[in-house]
Structure 1
Amino acid sequence: MPKFIAFFCIMFICMNAQAQQTWEIGGNVGAAGYIGDLNINNPVKPSGAQAGLFIKRNFNRYLGVKLNYSFGQISGADSTSGSQQLRDRNLSFTTPLKELSLMAELNFMSFIPDAGKNKYTPYIYLGAGITSYNPKAKYNGEIYELRPLQTEGTAYSSKAIVIPFGAGVKYNFSGKWTVAADLGYRFTNTDYLDDVSRNYAPKSSFNNEIARALSDRSGEKNNIYIGKAGSQRGDYKPRDFYMFVGFTISYTFVTQECYY
Protein backbone atom coordinates (compact mmCIF):
# COMPACT_ATOMS: atom_id res chain seq x y z
CA MET A 1 0.00 0.00 0.00
CA PRO A 2 2.80 2.53 0.71
CA LYS A 3 3.68 2.23 -3.02
CA PHE A 4 0.49 4.19 -3.76
CA ILE A 5 1.72 7.08 -1.64
CA ALA A 6 5.13 6.97 -3.32
CA PHE A 7 3.46 7.00 -6.73
CA PHE A 8 1.45 10.14 -5.95
CA CYS A 9 4.50 11.87 -4.48
CA ILE A 10 6.50 11.20 -7.67
CA MET A 11 3.59 12.38 -9.81
CA PHE A 12 3.38 15.56 -7.70
CA ILE A 13 7.08 16.35 -8.18
CA CYS A 14 7.15 15.61 -11.91
CA MET A 15 4.09 17.67 -12.74
CA ASN A 16 5.27 20.51 -10.53
CA ALA A 17 8.37 20.83 -12.72
CA GLN A 18 6.53 21.33 -15.99
CA ALA A 19 3.05 22.75 -15.40
CA GLN A 20 1.44 25.99 -14.31
CA GLN A 21 -0.16 25.59 -10.93
CA THR A 22 -2.37 27.17 -8.32
CA TRP A 23 -2.44 26.51 -4.60
CA GLU A 24 -5.73 25.89 -2.81
CA ILE A 25 -6.52 25.63 0.89
CA GLY A 26 -9.77 24.68 2.57
CA GLY A 27 -11.76 22.74 5.10
CA ASN A 28 -14.73 20.44 5.21
CA VAL A 29 -17.47 19.29 7.58
CA GLY A 30 -20.07 16.58 7.32
CA ALA A 31 -21.09 13.11 8.42
CA ALA A 32 -19.22 9.83 8.78
CA GLY A 33 -20.45 6.28 8.52
CA TYR A 34 -19.09 2.78 8.28
CA ILE A 35 -19.80 -0.56 6.63
CA GLY A 36 -18.76 -3.61 8.63
CA ASP A 37 -19.90 -6.27 11.05
CA LEU A 38 -22.42 -4.01 12.81
CA ASN A 39 -23.71 -2.41 9.60
CA ILE A 40 -23.66 -4.95 6.80
CA ASN A 41 -26.14 -3.63 4.23
CA ASN A 42 -26.40 0.18 4.34
CA PRO A 43 -23.44 1.96 2.66
CA VAL A 44 -24.88 5.47 3.20
CA LYS A 45 -25.88 5.22 6.87
CA PRO A 46 -24.29 8.06 8.90
CA SER A 47 -23.24 7.27 12.46
CA GLY A 48 -21.07 10.24 13.42
CA ALA A 49 -19.52 13.52 12.30
CA GLN A 50 -16.32 14.41 10.46
CA ALA A 51 -14.25 17.52 9.73
CA GLY A 52 -10.95 18.19 7.99
CA LEU A 53 -8.40 20.55 6.49
CA PHE A 54 -6.48 20.30 3.24
CA ILE A 55 -3.93 21.94 0.98
CA LYS A 56 -4.03 21.23 -2.73
CA ARG A 57 -1.81 21.84 -5.74
CA ASN A 58 -3.81 22.30 -8.93
CA PHE A 59 -1.49 21.50 -11.82
CA ASN A 60 -3.91 22.63 -14.51
CA ARG A 61 -7.65 23.12 -15.08
CA TYR A 62 -8.36 19.42 -14.60
CA LEU A 63 -5.87 17.75 -12.27
CA GLY A 64 -4.76 18.42 -8.71
CA VAL A 65 -3.18 16.59 -5.77
CA LYS A 66 -4.48 17.17 -2.25
CA LEU A 67 -2.90 16.52 1.15
CA ASN A 68 -5.79 16.02 3.55
CA TYR A 69 -6.18 15.58 7.31
CA SER A 70 -9.58 14.48 8.63
CA PHE A 71 -10.99 13.66 12.03
CA GLY A 72 -14.23 11.70 12.35
CA GLN A 73 -16.17 9.33 14.53
CA ILE A 74 -18.15 6.22 13.60
CA SER A 75 -20.29 3.92 15.69
CA GLY A 76 -22.65 0.98 15.53
CA ALA A 77 -25.05 -0.90 17.79
CA ASP A 78 -26.80 -4.22 17.27
CA SER A 79 -29.68 -2.93 19.38
CA THR A 80 -30.76 -0.68 16.48
CA SER A 81 -30.63 -3.44 13.84
CA GLY A 82 -33.66 -4.75 11.98
CA SER A 83 -32.29 -8.27 12.32
CA GLN A 84 -33.29 -10.27 15.38
CA GLN A 85 -30.08 -12.29 15.10
CA LEU A 86 -27.98 -9.13 15.40
CA ARG A 87 -30.11 -7.73 18.22
CA ASP A 88 -29.52 -10.98 20.09
CA ARG A 89 -25.75 -10.54 19.61
CA ASN A 90 -26.03 -7.09 21.28
CA LEU A 91 -22.57 -5.72 20.44
CA SER A 92 -21.78 -2.00 20.09
CA PHE A 93 -18.81 0.28 19.49
CA THR A 94 -17.66 3.84 18.88
CA THR A 95 -14.29 4.76 17.41
CA PRO A 96 -12.55 8.03 16.53
CA LEU A 97 -10.75 8.19 13.18
CA LYS A 98 -7.71 10.34 12.41
CA GLU A 99 -6.82 10.15 8.75
CA LEU A 100 -3.88 11.58 6.79
CA SER A 101 -4.14 11.01 3.05
CA LEU A 102 -2.81 12.12 -0.34
CA MET A 103 -5.38 12.18 -3.14
CA ALA A 104 -5.41 12.90 -6.87
CA GLU A 105 -8.47 14.88 -7.94
CA LEU A 106 -9.76 15.02 -11.52
CA ASN A 107 -12.25 17.64 -12.76
CA PHE A 108 -14.58 16.57 -15.57
CA MET A 109 -14.71 20.16 -16.91
CA SER A 110 -12.16 22.94 -17.28
CA PHE A 111 -12.18 24.74 -13.93
CA ILE A 112 -10.22 27.74 -12.58
CA PRO A 113 -11.98 29.83 -9.90
CA ASP A 114 -12.47 33.48 -10.86
CA ALA A 115 -10.77 32.89 -14.21
CA GLY A 116 -12.24 29.95 -16.15
CA LYS A 117 -15.44 29.99 -18.16
CA ASN A 118 -17.08 27.22 -16.08
CA LYS A 119 -18.50 28.06 -12.67
CA TYR A 120 -18.93 24.39 -11.69
CA THR A 121 -17.65 20.91 -12.45
CA PRO A 122 -18.17 17.34 -11.28
CA TYR A 123 -14.99 15.62 -10.05
CA ILE A 124 -13.65 12.31 -8.81
CA TYR A 125 -10.73 11.45 -6.54
CA LEU A 126 -8.52 8.52 -5.61
CA GLY A 127 -5.64 8.28 -3.18
CA ALA A 128 -3.89 6.51 -0.34
CA GLY A 129 -3.37 7.23 3.32
CA ILE A 130 -3.30 6.01 6.88
CA THR A 131 -5.86 6.22 9.67
CA SER A 132 -5.75 5.56 13.40
CA TYR A 133 -8.74 4.02 15.16
CA ASN A 134 -9.58 3.00 18.70
CA PRO A 135 -12.89 1.13 19.18
CA LYS A 136 -14.59 1.61 22.55
CA ALA A 137 -17.76 0.35 24.21
CA LYS A 138 -19.88 1.41 27.16
CA TYR A 139 -20.43 -1.21 29.86
CA ASN A 140 -22.06 -0.65 33.25
CA GLY A 141 -21.77 3.10 32.79
CA GLU A 142 -18.02 3.02 31.98
CA ILE A 143 -16.23 3.44 28.64
CA TYR A 144 -13.66 0.75 27.83
CA GLU A 145 -11.09 0.60 25.04
CA LEU A 146 -11.66 -2.71 23.27
CA ARG A 147 -8.37 -3.27 21.42
CA PRO A 148 -6.26 -3.96 24.56
CA LEU A 149 -8.92 -6.42 25.79
CA GLN A 150 -8.62 -8.65 22.67
CA THR A 151 -12.28 -9.65 22.85
CA GLU A 152 -11.84 -12.25 20.08
CA GLY A 153 -8.51 -13.44 21.43
CA THR A 154 -6.73 -11.67 18.57
CA ALA A 155 -4.35 -8.70 18.63
CA TYR A 156 -4.69 -6.02 15.96
CA SER A 157 -3.07 -2.71 15.10
CA SER A 158 -4.33 0.75 16.04
CA LYS A 159 -3.60 1.98 12.50
CA ALA A 160 -4.80 0.96 9.05
CA ILE A 161 -3.87 1.72 5.45
CA VAL A 162 -6.76 3.35 3.59
CA ILE A 163 -7.63 3.88 -0.07
CA PRO A 164 -9.93 6.94 -0.35
CA PHE A 165 -12.15 7.21 -3.44
CA GLY A 166 -15.23 9.24 -4.25
CA ALA A 167 -16.97 11.88 -6.33
CA GLY A 168 -18.51 15.30 -5.94
CA VAL A 169 -19.51 18.60 -7.49
CA LYS A 170 -17.74 21.94 -6.92
CA TYR A 171 -19.04 25.47 -7.58
CA ASN A 172 -17.14 28.77 -7.79
CA PHE A 173 -19.62 30.97 -5.95
CA SER A 174 -17.58 34.16 -5.39
CA GLY A 175 -14.20 35.30 -6.66
CA LYS A 176 -11.63 32.69 -5.69
CA TRP A 177 -13.98 30.96 -3.24
CA THR A 178 -15.37 27.53 -4.08
CA VAL A 179 -17.86 25.25 -2.36
CA ALA A 180 -18.17 21.52 -3.00
CA ALA A 181 -20.26 18.58 -1.93
CA ASP A 182 -18.88 15.05 -2.13
CA LEU A 183 -19.36 11.46 -1.05
CA GLY A 184 -16.32 9.29 -0.49
CA TYR A 185 -15.40 5.90 0.90
CA ARG A 186 -12.24 4.52 2.48
CA PHE A 187 -11.27 0.94 1.78
CA THR A 188 -9.17 -0.28 4.72
CA ASN A 189 -6.85 -3.21 5.32
CA THR A 190 -8.44 -4.05 8.68
CA ASP A 191 -11.62 -5.82 9.80
CA TYR A 192 -11.42 -4.41 13.33
CA LEU A 193 -12.74 -0.85 13.08
CA ASP A 194 -15.64 -2.21 15.15
CA ASP A 195 -13.62 -4.75 17.19
CA VAL A 196 -15.62 -7.54 15.51
CA SER A 197 -14.35 -9.93 12.84
CA ARG A 198 -14.75 -13.69 13.15
CA ASN A 199 -15.51 -16.05 16.07
CA TYR A 200 -16.20 -16.00 19.79
CA ALA A 201 -13.15 -16.83 21.89
CA PRO A 202 -13.41 -19.38 24.72
CA LYS A 203 -14.42 -17.54 27.88
CA SER A 204 -11.85 -19.57 29.80
CA SER A 205 -9.11 -17.83 27.77
CA PHE A 206 -9.80 -14.44 29.42
CA ASN A 207 -8.05 -13.46 32.60
CA ASN A 208 -9.77 -10.07 32.58
CA GLU A 209 -13.41 -10.04 33.70
CA ILE A 210 -14.19 -6.96 31.58
CA ALA A 211 -12.73 -8.61 28.46
CA ARG A 212 -14.81 -11.73 29.16
CA ALA A 213 -17.99 -9.68 29.58
CA LEU A 214 -17.44 -7.57 26.45
CA SER A 215 -16.57 -10.57 24.30
CA ASP A 216 -20.15 -11.83 24.55
CA ARG A 217 -22.87 -9.31 25.45
CA SER A 218 -25.81 -11.37 24.21
CA GLY A 219 -27.20 -12.23 27.64
CA GLU A 220 -27.11 -8.81 29.27
CA LYS A 221 -30.90 -8.44 29.05
CA ASN A 222 -32.20 -12.00 29.36
CA ASN A 223 -29.18 -13.86 30.78
CA ILE A 224 -29.17 -16.18 27.74
CA TYR A 225 -25.68 -16.13 26.21
CA ILE A 226 -25.17 -17.31 22.63
CA GLY A 227 -21.41 -16.79 22.34
CA LYS A 228 -20.26 -20.38 22.25
CA ALA A 229 -16.49 -20.72 21.69
CA GLY A 230 -15.70 -20.96 17.98
CA SER A 231 -19.18 -19.87 16.84
CA GLN A 232 -19.67 -16.94 14.49
CA ARG A 233 -19.31 -13.47 16.01
CA GLY A 234 -18.60 -11.31 12.91
CA ASP A 235 -19.67 -11.45 9.27
CA TYR A 236 -16.42 -13.15 8.07
CA LYS A 237 -15.79 -10.40 5.48
CA PRO A 238 -12.09 -9.51 5.48
CA ARG A 239 -12.30 -5.68 5.47
CA ASP A 240 -14.26 -2.78 6.95
CA PHE A 241 -15.01 0.45 5.05
CA TYR A 242 -15.87 3.91 6.27
CA MET A 243 -17.57 6.85 4.58
CA PHE A 244 -17.16 10.63 4.66
CA VAL A 245 -19.86 12.83 3.15
CA GLY A 246 -20.13 16.60 3.45
CA PHE A 247 -19.38 20.08 2.24
CA THR A 248 -16.08 21.81 1.50
CA ILE A 249 -15.17 25.48 1.24
CA SER A 250 -11.82 26.51 -0.23
CA TYR A 251 -9.82 29.50 -1.44
CA THR A 252 -7.63 29.28 -4.55
CA PHE A 253 -4.51 31.41 -5.05
CA VAL A 254 -4.71 31.99 -8.81
CA THR A 255 -1.73 33.59 -10.57
CA GLN A 256 -2.01 35.73 -13.69
CA GLU A 257 -0.19 33.09 -15.77
CA CYS A 258 -2.92 30.54 -14.99
CA TYR A 259 -5.53 32.69 -16.73
CA TYR A 260 -4.09 31.64 -20.06
Structure 2
Amino acid sequence: MTLHRIPQALLICVMLQIGSAFFSTEAIAQRSVSTSEIGVGIGGANYTGELAPNYRFLNNQPALTVFYRRDLTNTFTARGGIMLSHRIADDNTIGDAVQDLPLPNYRQAELRLSLAEVSAVMEYNFLDYYDLSQKPRVSPYFFAGIAGLIYNKKLTSDNPNLEELDKPFDTDLTVSVPFGVGVKYALSKHWNLGLEFGARMLFNDNMDFLTEGDGKHVANPYDKDWYYYNGISLSYTFYRINCPPPYKRQPGILD
Protein backbone atom coordinates (compact mmCIF):
# COMPACT_ATOMS: atom_id res chain seq x y z
CA MET A 1 0.00 0.00 0.00
CA THR A 2 1.43 3.38 -0.98
CA LEU A 3 1.79 6.02 1.72
CA HIS A 4 -0.79 8.39 0.23
CA ARG A 5 -3.47 5.68 0.53
CA ILE A 6 -2.92 5.07 4.26
CA PRO A 7 -5.19 7.95 5.49
CA GLN A 8 -8.04 6.80 3.21
CA ALA A 9 -7.71 3.21 4.44
CA LEU A 10 -7.69 4.35 8.07
CA LEU A 11 -10.81 6.45 7.52
CA ILE A 12 -12.67 3.49 5.96
CA CYS A 13 -11.71 1.16 8.82
CA VAL A 14 -12.83 3.70 11.44
CA MET A 15 -16.20 4.25 9.74
CA LEU A 16 -16.84 0.50 9.56
CA GLN A 17 -16.00 0.07 13.25
CA ILE A 18 -18.25 2.92 14.34
CA GLY A 19 -21.11 1.68 12.16
CA SER A 20 -20.91 -1.81 13.58
CA ALA A 21 -20.79 -0.41 17.12
CA PHE A 22 -23.82 1.88 16.81
CA PHE A 23 -25.98 -0.78 15.17
CA SER A 24 -25.06 -3.78 17.31
CA THR A 25 -28.23 -3.66 19.40
CA GLU A 26 -28.32 -7.43 19.96
CA ALA A 27 -25.30 -7.24 22.27
CA ILE A 28 -27.06 -4.63 24.40
CA ALA A 29 -30.26 -6.66 24.55
CA GLN A 30 -28.44 -9.66 26.06
CA ARG A 31 -27.27 -7.64 29.07
CA SER A 32 -29.46 -7.22 32.14
CA VAL A 33 -28.46 -3.59 32.68
CA SER A 34 -27.25 -1.00 30.18
CA THR A 35 -25.87 2.45 30.92
CA SER A 36 -25.57 5.84 29.28
CA GLU A 37 -23.70 8.95 30.37
CA ILE A 38 -23.78 12.67 29.82
CA GLY A 39 -20.74 14.71 30.70
CA VAL A 40 -18.70 17.87 30.32
CA GLY A 41 -14.98 18.38 30.09
CA ILE A 42 -12.46 21.19 30.24
CA GLY A 43 -8.94 21.12 28.93
CA GLY A 44 -6.68 22.40 26.22
CA ALA A 45 -6.69 22.35 22.43
CA ASN A 46 -3.47 22.41 20.47
CA TYR A 47 -2.31 22.57 16.88
CA THR A 48 0.71 21.51 14.86
CA GLY A 49 1.44 22.93 11.43
CA GLU A 50 3.55 25.65 9.88
CA LEU A 51 3.48 27.91 12.94
CA ALA A 52 4.02 25.04 15.39
CA PRO A 53 5.85 22.13 13.71
CA ASN A 54 6.18 20.21 16.99
CA TYR A 55 3.64 19.49 19.72
CA ARG A 56 4.28 21.66 22.76
CA PHE A 57 2.12 21.33 25.86
CA LEU A 58 2.55 25.00 26.78
CA ASN A 59 0.84 25.97 23.52
CA ASN A 60 -2.50 24.59 24.73
CA GLN A 61 -5.43 27.01 24.66
CA PRO A 62 -8.67 26.59 26.68
CA ALA A 63 -11.22 24.15 25.28
CA LEU A 64 -14.64 22.88 26.36
CA THR A 65 -16.33 19.60 25.46
CA VAL A 66 -19.75 18.02 26.09
CA PHE A 67 -20.48 14.39 25.30
CA TYR A 68 -22.91 11.48 25.45
CA ARG A 69 -21.62 7.93 25.99
CA ARG A 70 -23.40 4.58 25.84
CA ASP A 71 -22.07 1.13 26.65
CA LEU A 72 -22.46 -1.44 23.90
CA THR A 73 -20.74 -4.40 25.56
CA ASN A 74 -18.51 -4.88 28.59
CA THR A 75 -15.62 -3.83 26.36
CA PHE A 76 -16.92 -1.28 23.83
CA THR A 77 -18.63 2.07 24.35
CA ALA A 78 -19.86 4.57 21.76
CA ARG A 79 -19.47 8.29 22.33
CA GLY A 80 -20.65 11.42 20.56
CA GLY A 81 -19.36 14.84 21.50
CA ILE A 82 -18.83 18.51 20.72
CA MET A 83 -15.56 20.35 21.32
CA LEU A 84 -15.05 24.12 21.15
CA SER A 85 -11.83 26.12 21.35
CA HIS A 86 -10.22 29.40 20.35
CA ARG A 87 -6.48 29.95 20.08
CA ILE A 88 -3.80 32.34 18.87
CA ALA A 89 -0.50 31.03 17.46
CA ASP A 90 2.40 32.97 16.04
CA ASP A 91 5.97 32.49 14.84
CA ASN A 92 7.40 34.05 18.01
CA THR A 93 5.77 31.77 20.60
CA ILE A 94 5.95 28.27 19.12
CA GLY A 95 8.81 27.16 21.36
CA ASP A 96 12.35 28.01 22.31
CA ALA A 97 13.88 25.38 20.02
CA VAL A 98 12.47 26.94 16.84
CA GLN A 99 12.19 30.64 17.62
CA ASP A 100 15.47 31.51 15.89
CA LEU A 101 14.96 29.49 12.70
CA PRO A 102 15.11 31.52 9.47
CA LEU A 103 11.63 30.69 8.16
CA PRO A 104 9.65 31.78 11.28
CA ASN A 105 11.75 34.94 11.51
CA TYR A 106 11.02 35.66 7.86
CA ARG A 107 7.26 35.04 8.04
CA GLN A 108 6.52 36.82 11.34
CA ALA A 109 3.01 35.40 11.06
CA GLU A 110 0.17 35.25 13.59
CA LEU A 111 -2.83 32.93 13.37
CA ARG A 112 -6.21 33.31 15.08
CA LEU A 113 -8.07 30.01 15.00
CA SER A 114 -11.48 28.99 16.38
CA LEU A 115 -12.59 25.35 16.30
CA ALA A 116 -15.95 23.61 16.60
CA GLU A 117 -15.83 19.81 16.32
CA VAL A 118 -18.63 17.24 16.26
CA SER A 119 -17.32 13.69 16.70
CA ALA A 120 -18.46 10.08 16.92
CA VAL A 121 -15.95 7.62 18.35
CA MET A 122 -15.82 4.09 19.67
CA GLU A 123 -13.93 3.34 22.89
CA TYR A 124 -12.20 0.08 23.73
CA ASN A 125 -12.06 -0.41 27.51
CA PHE A 126 -9.16 -2.56 28.70
CA LEU A 127 -10.93 -3.46 31.97
CA ASP A 128 -14.59 -4.27 32.74
CA TYR A 129 -15.50 -0.78 33.86
CA TYR A 130 -19.26 -1.49 33.85
CA ASP A 131 -19.07 -4.32 36.39
CA LEU A 132 -20.44 -2.67 39.55
CA SER A 133 -18.83 -5.32 41.75
CA GLN A 134 -15.35 -4.10 40.84
CA LYS A 135 -13.69 -2.02 43.57
CA PRO A 136 -12.41 0.38 42.48
CA ARG A 137 -13.99 0.74 39.04
CA VAL A 138 -11.29 2.08 36.76
CA SER A 139 -10.21 1.39 33.20
CA PRO A 140 -7.79 2.79 30.64
CA TYR A 141 -9.24 2.97 27.13
CA PHE A 142 -8.34 3.62 23.52
CA PHE A 143 -10.66 5.46 21.14
CA ALA A 144 -10.92 6.15 17.42
CA GLY A 145 -13.63 7.61 15.23
CA ILE A 146 -14.57 10.31 12.78
CA ALA A 147 -15.31 14.02 13.24
CA GLY A 148 -16.66 16.97 11.34
CA LEU A 149 -14.78 20.21 11.92
CA ILE A 150 -15.73 23.82 11.26
CA TYR A 151 -12.93 26.31 11.84
CA ASN A 152 -12.58 30.04 11.48
CA LYS A 153 -9.09 31.44 10.85
CA LYS A 154 -7.27 34.71 10.22
CA LEU A 155 -3.59 35.11 9.29
CA THR A 156 -1.45 38.25 9.51
CA SER A 157 2.25 38.90 8.90
CA ASP A 158 4.53 41.65 10.20
CA ASN A 159 6.83 41.23 7.19
CA PRO A 160 6.04 44.02 4.66
CA ASN A 161 7.37 41.80 1.86
CA LEU A 162 4.69 39.18 2.58
CA GLU A 163 1.51 41.21 2.28
CA GLU A 164 -0.12 38.27 0.47
CA LEU A 165 -0.03 36.35 3.77
CA ASP A 166 -2.50 38.79 5.33
CA LYS A 167 -5.73 36.85 5.02
CA PRO A 168 -9.11 37.96 6.43
CA PHE A 169 -11.29 35.72 8.56
CA ASP A 170 -12.38 32.67 6.60
CA THR A 171 -14.54 29.69 7.62
CA ASP A 172 -13.92 26.16 6.35
CA LEU A 173 -15.41 22.70 6.84
CA THR A 174 -13.41 19.48 6.83
CA VAL A 175 -13.28 15.92 8.18
CA SER A 176 -10.76 14.57 10.68
CA VAL A 177 -9.94 11.25 12.31
CA PRO A 178 -9.74 11.53 16.12
CA PHE A 179 -7.91 8.87 18.12
CA GLY A 180 -6.19 8.69 21.48
CA VAL A 181 -6.10 7.23 24.97
CA GLY A 182 -7.74 7.96 28.29
CA VAL A 183 -8.67 6.60 31.68
CA LYS A 184 -12.04 6.64 33.44
CA TYR A 185 -12.61 6.30 37.19
CA ALA A 186 -15.92 5.82 39.03
CA LEU A 187 -16.27 8.26 41.91
CA SER A 188 -19.58 6.61 42.85
CA LYS A 189 -22.32 4.54 41.23
CA HIS A 190 -23.41 7.52 39.12
CA TRP A 191 -20.48 9.95 38.95
CA ASN A 192 -17.35 9.38 36.86
CA LEU A 193 -14.07 11.18 36.40
CA GLY A 194 -12.15 10.99 33.12
CA LEU A 195 -8.77 12.00 31.76
CA GLU A 196 -8.05 11.95 28.03
CA PHE A 197 -5.50 12.86 25.38
CA GLY A 198 -6.41 12.70 21.69
CA ALA A 199 -4.98 13.69 18.32
CA ARG A 200 -6.95 14.61 15.20
CA MET A 201 -5.54 13.75 11.80
CA LEU A 202 -6.53 16.10 8.99
CA PHE A 203 -6.38 15.42 5.26
CA ASN A 204 -5.27 18.92 4.26
CA ASP A 205 -2.52 21.43 5.00
CA ASN A 206 -4.69 24.53 5.08
CA MET A 207 -5.80 24.92 8.68
CA ASP A 208 -3.39 27.82 9.16
CA PHE A 209 -3.68 29.43 5.66
CA LEU A 210 0.00 28.56 5.09
CA THR A 211 0.42 26.36 2.03
CA GLU A 212 3.01 26.28 -0.72
CA GLY A 213 0.57 27.79 -3.21
CA ASP A 214 1.69 31.39 -2.68
CA GLY A 215 5.02 30.82 -4.45
CA LYS A 216 7.02 32.43 -1.62
CA HIS A 217 8.25 29.14 -0.11
CA VAL A 218 6.78 30.01 3.28
CA ALA A 219 5.35 26.55 4.04
CA ASN A 220 6.35 22.91 4.12
CA PRO A 221 4.45 21.12 1.32
CA TYR A 222 5.22 17.64 2.67
CA ASP A 223 3.19 17.55 5.88
CA LYS A 224 -0.43 17.89 7.02
CA ASP A 225 -1.89 19.96 9.83
CA TRP A 226 -3.05 18.29 13.06
CA TYR A 227 -4.99 19.43 16.11
CA TYR A 228 -5.32 17.92 19.59
CA TYR A 229 -7.46 17.89 22.72
CA ASN A 230 -6.46 16.87 26.25
CA GLY A 231 -8.56 17.40 29.31
CA ILE A 232 -10.47 16.19 32.32
CA SER A 233 -14.18 15.35 32.39
CA LEU A 234 -17.03 14.72 34.81
CA SER A 235 -20.02 12.59 33.76
CA TYR A 236 -23.25 11.22 35.23
CA THR A 237 -24.41 7.64 34.53
CA PHE A 238 -28.01 6.55 33.94
CA TYR A 239 -28.93 2.87 34.38
CA ARG A 240 -31.63 0.97 32.49
CA ILE A 241 -32.85 -2.56 33.22
CA ASN A 242 -33.26 -4.49 29.97
CA CYS A 243 -36.13 -6.90 29.36
CA PRO A 244 -34.98 -10.55 29.27
CA PRO A 245 -34.86 -11.86 25.67
CA PRO A 246 -37.51 -14.60 26.34
CA TYR A 247 -39.96 -11.96 27.60
CA LYS A 248 -39.36 -9.75 24.57
CA ARG A 249 -40.22 -12.68 22.32
CA GLN A 250 -43.30 -13.71 24.38
CA PRO A 251 -44.71 -10.75 26.35
CA GLY A 252 -46.70 -11.82 29.39
CA ILE A 253 -44.85 -15.07 30.22
CA LEU A 254 -43.62 -13.57 33.47
CA ASP A 255 -47.06 -12.29 34.56
Q: Per the shorter chain, which TM-score range? A: 0.7 to 0.9
User: Quick one: distance in 2 between partners of 1:76 and 1:182?
Assistant: 23
AA at the equivalent of 2:188 = S
User: Quick one: distance in 1 between partners of 2:79 and 2:128?
Assistant: 18
User: Quick one: distance in 1 between partners of 2:233 and 2:131?
Assistant: 15
2:206: which partner in 1? 192
Is 2:42 the partner of 1:64? no
1:31: which partner in 2? 44
CA RMSD of aligned residues (A): 2.6
CA deviations 1:201-260 (Å, max 9, x no partner) are 3xxxxxxxxxxxxxxxxxxxxxxxxxxxx23111223411001010011111123569xx
| Aligned partner of 1:242 among 227, 231, 234 | 227
Superposition pairs of residues 223-238 of structure 1, within 5 angstroms:
230-238=215-223
**Contact kept? 1:113, 1:176, Cα under 8 Å:** no
Instruction: Measure how far apart 1:97 and its partner are.
Output: 0.7
| Aligned partner of 1:16 among 25, 43, 61 | 25
- Report the TM-score when normalising by structure 1: 0.74
1:90: which partner in 2? 108
**Contact kept? 1:80, 1:87, Cα under 8 Å:** no
Superposition pairs of residues 204-223 of structure 1, within 5 angstroms:
none
User: Quick one: distance in 1 between partners of 2:76 and 2:20?
Assistant: 15
1:213: which partner in 2? none
User: Quick one: distance in 2 between partners of 1:62 and 1:93?
Assistant: 41
User: Quick one: distance in 1 between partners of 2:108 and 2:60?
Assistant: 17
User: Quick one: distance in 2 between partners of 1:18 and 1:113?
Assistant: 16
- Structure 2 gaps of 5+ residues are 1-7, 159-165, 244-255
User: Quick one: distance in 1 between partners of 2:212 and 2:79?
Assistant: 36
**Contact kept? 2:108, 2:157, Cα under 8 Å:** no
Instruction: Measure how far apart 1:115 and its partner are.
Output: 4.7
User: Quick one: distance in 1 between partners of 2:138 and 2:218?
Assistant: 47
1:215: which partner in 2? none
Stretch moving more, 169-178 or 248-257 = 248-257
User: Quick one: distance in 1 between partners of 2:107 and 2:52?
Assistant: 13
User: Quick one: distance in 1 between partners of 2:132 and 2:149?
Assistant: 35
**Closer/same/farther in 2, CA of residues 163 and 125 from structure 1, 3 Å limit:** same
User: Quick one: distance in 1 between partners of 2:157 and 2:107?
Assistant: 15
Instruction: Measure how far apart 1:198 and its partner are.
Output: 1.3
**Contact kept? 2:44, 2:62, Cα under 8 Å:** yes
**Closer/same/farther in 2, CA of residues 114 and 138 from structure 1, 3 Å limit:** farther
CA deviations 1:53-92 (Å, max 9, x no partner) are 1111101222101011111123310122423411221011
**Contact kept? 1:111, 1:118, Cα under 8 Å:** no
Is 2:139 the partner of 1:121? yes
Instruction: Measure how far apart 1:113 and its partner are.
Output: 7.1
Instruction: Measure how far apart 1:118 and its partner are.
Output: 4.0
Instruction: Measure how far apart 1:45 and its partner are.
Output: 4.4
**Contact kept? 2:36, 2:68, Cα under 8 Å:** yes
1:80: which partner in 2? 93
**Contact kept? 2:119, 2:148, Cα under 8 Å:** yes
Runs of 4+ in 1 over 6 A off after TM superposition: none
Is 2:168 the partner of 1:146? yes
Instruction: Measure how far apart 1:145 and its partner are.
Output: 5.9
**Closer/same/farther in 2, CA of residues 75 and 47 from structure 1, 3 Å limit:** farther
Is 2:64 the partner of 1:51? yes
AA at the equivalent of 1:112 = Y
**Contact kept? 1:134, 1:145, Cα under 8 Å:** no
Instruction: Measure how far apart 1:182 and its partner are.
Output: 0.9
User: Quick one: distance in 2 between partners of 1:256 and 1:18?
Assistant: 14
- Report the TM-score when normalising by structure 2: 0.76
User: Quick one: distance in 2 between partners of 1:113 and 1:53?
Assistant: 25
